[in-house]
Amino acid sequence: MRVNTRAITNLSFLLVFAIALPVGNLLGLVSINTVSVWGRYFCFAIAALGIDLIWGYTGVMSMCQAFFFCLGGYAMGMHLLLKATALQGHLLPDFMTWNSFTALPSFWQPFRHFVPALLLSLLIPALVAGIIGFFVFRSRIKGVYMAIITQALALAMYLLFLRNETKLGGTNGLTDFRTLLGFDLSASSTKLGLYWVSLGALCLLYLLCHKLVHSKFGKVLQAIRDSEFRVGYTAYRVLNYKLAIFVIAAVLCALAGMLYTPQTGIITPGRMDVTASVEMLMWVALGGRGKLRGAIIGALLVNCLYSVCTSLFPQGWLFILGFLYVLTVLYFDKGFLGLFETLGKKIRLS
C-alpha cells in the first residue's frame, strides 16, 4: 500500500513537471517565465537535498550552505560573463572597466571555457568544504557551536564577496549574461532546455541520494545523528564520515547554484547572506527533515508560497514564514511530508 502511494506521487510529480508544464507552455497556456521560475525552484530543491543529507540525516547543522550554492553560482556566472564580454567585443567585463582594471585577473582565466568552469564550480566548493570541515570536525565542534561557526563563516564570506577588491563584482554581483554554450539565454527554447536540465538533475540526484542514505554509509550517518560517541566506540572514524557528507552536501548546493545562475541571469552576494542559509534550512525543516522527499517538497512549496505571498502581501512574507515555522515546530514536527502522510492515513481509515 505504501509503495503504491509512493509510486503514485512520484509518477504524478513527473507527469506534472516533465509533461504537463512544458506541454502547457508549448500550447501557450503557461508562460515561459513560469516554467523558468519552476526551473529555479528545482535548483533550490537540489540544494535542499544537500542540506537534508548533512542536517536531516547526519544531524550537523550547517548554516553556510548558501555560500556553497553561491560558489557554484559565481563560477558559472564568471564563465557566462566572459562569454558575454567576448560576444560584445570588449576586453574586460563592464564592472572591471568601471573599476579601472587593466587586465583580466589571473583567477578569472580558467573560466573562459565551459568545461574548466564546470569542473571548478564543483571542485572549489568541495575543496573549501573539505578544508573547513576538516578543522571544524577535528576539533569535535558540534550542535549549536557548529551552527554558530558556520554562520560566522557565511557572514565573513558574504562580506568578502561584497568588496570590490575581491574582483567578483562587489554588491552588484555578476549579471548581463548572453549565451551558454552558444545558446541565447533570453530565448524561450533555452529557458525550456534549462528547465529540463534542472528537472533531470533533480531526479537523478534524488535517486543518487536515495541510494546513498540507504547504503551502509547512510546508516552510519544516521547513527552519528543518534549517538555520535557510540559510533566512535564502534570503531568508526566519525571525522571522515562527517567530512565526506559535508563535502557531498556542499557539492550538491554548488551544483544547484551552477544551474540557477543561467536561469536567473544574475548572481549577487545577496544570495549568500546569513538569512539565505537560514531560509534554506527552513525549507528542509518545513518540508520534513530526515526525508529526502520532505526536503524537495519543502523547497518547492516554500518558494511557491514565497512568490504568491510576496505579490499579495509584499511586506508580510517573513511573518508568514515565521508563523509557518512556529506551527511546524509546535504541531507537525515532521513537516509538510509528515502532515500529508497523517492526512493520507486518516482518509484511508475513514
Site string for other proteins, 193-212 (x = CB under 8 A): -------------------x
Least distance CB 248 / other proteins (angstroms): 11
Least distance CB 10 / other proteins (angstroms): 24
Least distance CB 116 / other proteins (angstroms): 28
Least distance CB 334 / other proteins (angstroms): 13
Please say whether the beta carbons of 53 and 213 come within 8 A. Answer: yes
Least distance CB 138 / other proteins (angstroms): 11
Per rule CB under 8 A, is residue 139 in the interface with other proteins?
no
Please, which residue, 164 or 222, has the CB nearer to other proteins? 222
Per rule CB under 8 A, is residue 230 in the interface with other proteins?
yes
Contact range with other proteins by CB under 8 A, out of 70-78, 178-186, 239-247, 276-284: 239-247
Query: Which of 2, 216, 346, 348 is close enough to bind other proteins by CB under 8 A?
Result: 216
- Judged by CB under 8 A, how many residues of this single chain contact other proteins? 23
Name the site residues for other proteins (rule: CB under 8 A).
212, 215-217, 219-220, 222-223, 225-227, 229-237, 240-241, 244
